[in-house]
Amino acid sequence: MGGLKRKIQEDLNQAIKKSEEIPRSTLRVLLASILNKEKEKRYKIAKKEETLNEKELVERSNLTDEEIIEVITSEVKKRKEAIFEFERGKRMDLVEKEKKEMEILQKYLPEQISEEEIKKLVKEAIDKVGAKEQKDMGKVMAEIMPKVKGRADGKIVSQIVKELLS
């Protein structure tokens, strides 16, 4: 088991012992999402390499910390979308619950980078790919996203790229 997954499991065990409802339910959902991703990965590997035994298959389908960060990022994004919808529906009780869950999940993400840092990285990417106008946005995004993965919101990065290309 990778370091990040082990940490999440340990934190879940602590939340269960301390009867902390929101951390417990949030971490259970997160671990279920990680498990589903591992099953997907296992299925893809099994289709490609039919000669692997069960033990090898399970080992190879464990998610890396980087893949787990993708799952967490996806879970955070779901909470952001839910918060937006609940605010529109004036359900502040649910907004608070989603915000608490989001805070718990964000503890497992790498430190987020500032907008200033993103601007600097975007400028470097624009120079590197020789982007001049809006139609070059795809090239710039392809260059920068791997560098900021899990550390910056894609929407913000995309806004900054648009800004700097106009």
Domains of the chain: 3-106 (1.10.1510.10), 115-165 (1.10.10.410)
Helix (H, G, I), strand (E, B) or coil at 116: helix
Give SS3 for 125: helix
Determine the average pLDDT of the residues in 90-94.
95
Distances (CA, A) of 125 to 24, 81, 83, 132, 164: 41, 29, 32, 11, 11
- Whether 96 shows a pLDDT value over 70: the answer reads yes
For the cut 80, the answer to whether the pLDDT of residue 2 exceeds it is no
Residue 41: name the closest of 72, 70, 63, 66 by CA: 63
User: Coil, helix or strand for 122?
Assistant: helix
Model confidence pLDDT, tens digit, residues 8-47: 999 999 999 999 999 999 999 999 999 999 999 999 888 8
Rounded distance between C-alpha atoms, residue 105 and residue 107, angstroms: 5
**Under a CB-based contact definition with an 8 Å cutoff, are residues 12 and 20 in contact?**
no
pLDDT above 90 covers what percent of the chain?
Answer: 60
Mean pLDDT of the chain: 91
Instruction: At 57, list the tokens.
Output: 């298959």
